[in-house]
Amino acid sequence: MIHRTKTRPVKVGNLTIGGSNELFIQSMTTTKTHDVDATVRQIERLEEAGCQIVRVAVPDERAARAIPDIKKRIHIPLVADIHFDYRLALIAIEGGVDKIRINPGNIGKREKVEAVVKAAKERGIPIRIGVNAGSLEKPILQKYGYPTADGMVESALHHIRILEDLDFHDIIVSMKASDVRLAIEAYEKAARTFDYPLHLGITESGTLFSGTIKSAAGIGTLLNMGIGNTLRISLSADPVEEVKVARELLKIFGLSSNAPTLVSCPTCGRIAIDLISIANEVEEYLQTIKAPIKVSVLGCAVNGPGEAREADIGIAGARGEGLLFRKGKIIRKVPEDKMVEELKKEIDMLAEAYYQK
Ligand code: SF4
């Protein structure tokens, strides 16, 4: 684990965000929140993929009133995403939500802000301030001319002060922008300016392909600086894909304690097996495993045995067959059509041993 920027700890359901705690993966449902069955089904798939906090859109009263039913049927903290309407925030809080995302400066009259803060305090739930480069307050935009990192920090401080004036400090802040370099600068400045936990995200980052690259570039840079306490990869895709990408990113930076790693070669003219299909099948299977197992799938005997030996379990291809390695030792030869099956068995055994620890 690398050094993480120290922040104030904030409780969200049964998790503590910030402080010296691990980074948590968040995602957001794409269903209509008032459709409880569909929403719960999607959250179950997200949980299964490794999502640790889930946010739902609360655009109207039907959505806000669905919160208690959703909450009853899921196992991870639930966040309500609310814009402007303080009554929806009150209904969501009353319904047992674990965090709300609302910008206090957009709620309106002071009594309304006070009502939301009072309810959040009574229930012990935090408020996330979501600064977005695309919706900065007019005076800030006029001051800077266009969205800048300084303007975004100023916006965050504006909302933070409203809450602090009401003696409310269970605050989490996000500084999202679709421009990766702007988001990095804004988060970096925010981390230096206040000590509230930061929720990382590159907003509207795009499709599974381009959004993954954009998010990896932006969030990866921040993770490498030790910045960030929760993260969401925003993709125009099934949100389960967001969780998969987030898990990979955390693994890369040594911030995930229970995720498996797959090493596979790019293949070349020496390839002796159908490695691409095997690697994809194994990768898919590893999505279900919650243990830090390193699996290597290499195409031939040139680099194969060396890499495979470094892994907990590995295969190095030869013509129509492969050498199976476990913890550096050759266990046996397996025919190509049995490779995936044999690897899965070995992965299961290693995972079981890890779960029993
Ligand atoms: Fe080529 Fe073998 Fe290296 Fe794969 S492991 S890239 S097949 S040399």
Q: Kindly report the CATH class assigned to 261-356.
A: alpha beta
Pocket test of ligand 1: the residue of 263, 268, 273, 325 to mutate, having most ligand atoms within 8 Å of its CB, is: 268
Q: Structure tokens of 84?
A: 């402007």
Q: Is 265 in the pocket of ligand 1 (CB under 6 A)?
A: yes
Give the Å distance between the CA of 323 and the centre of ligand 1. Answer: 14
Ligand 1 contact, 267 CB (< 6 A): yes
Burial class (CB in 10 A: 0-12, 13-18, 19+), 352: exposed
Q: What is the pTM of this model?
A: 0.90
Quote the strand ranges of the chain, DSSP E: 10-12, 15-17, 24-28, 53-57, 78-81, 99-101, 127-132, 171-176, 198-200, 230-231, 261-264, 294-298, 313-318, 321-326, 329-335
Contact 26, 231 (CB under 8 A): yes
Q: 45: burial class by Cβ within 10 Å (0-12, 13-18, 19+)?
A: middle
Residues contacting 84, CB < 8 A, separation 6+:
102, 106, 107, 108
Widest pairwise Cα distance in the chain:
75
312: Cβ contacts below 8 Å, ≥ 6 apart: 293, 294, 295, 326, 327, 350
Q: Is 225 in the pocket of ligand 1 (CB under 6 A)?
A: no
User: Which fold would CATH assign to domain 10-252?
Assistant: TIM Barrel (3.20.20)
51 assigned ligand-binding residue: no
Angle CA 314–244–51, to nearest 5? 120
Q: Closest by alpha carbon to 99, among 246, 235, 191, 199?
A: 199
Query: How many A from CA of 268 to the centre of ligand 1?
Result: 6
Each residue of 197-224: pLDDT tens digit? Answer: 999 999 887 899 999 999 999 999 999 9
Same fold, 10-252 and 261-356: no
Mutate to test the pocket of ligand 1, among 264, 265, 276, 319 (most ligand atoms within 8 A of CB): 265
Assembly ipTM = 0.98
Which pLDDT value is given to residue 2?
44
**Ligand 1 neighbourhood includes 263 CB (under 6 angstroms):** no
State pLDDT tens for residues 112-152.
999 999 999 999 999 999 999 998 999 999 999 999 999 99
* Rounded distance from Cα 216 to ligand 1 centre (Å): 26
Would the CB of 319 count as within 6 Å of ligand 1? no
Taking the C-alpha atoms of residue 240 and residue 253, their distance in angstroms, rounded to an integer, is 21
DSSP assignment of 148-201: -HHHHHHHHHHHHHHHHHTT---EEEEEE-SSHHHHHHHHHHHHHH--S-EEE-
Is there a contact between 57 and 81 (Cβ–Cβ < 8 Å)? yes
Identify the pLDDT of residue 338.
92
Q: Where in the chain are the domains?
A: 10-252, 261-356
pLDDT block averages, 10 residues each, the chain of length 357 = 73 92 94 98 96 97 98 98 95 98 90 95 96 93 96 96 96 95 97 96 90 96 95 96 95 87 90 90 90 90 69 88 86 92 93 90
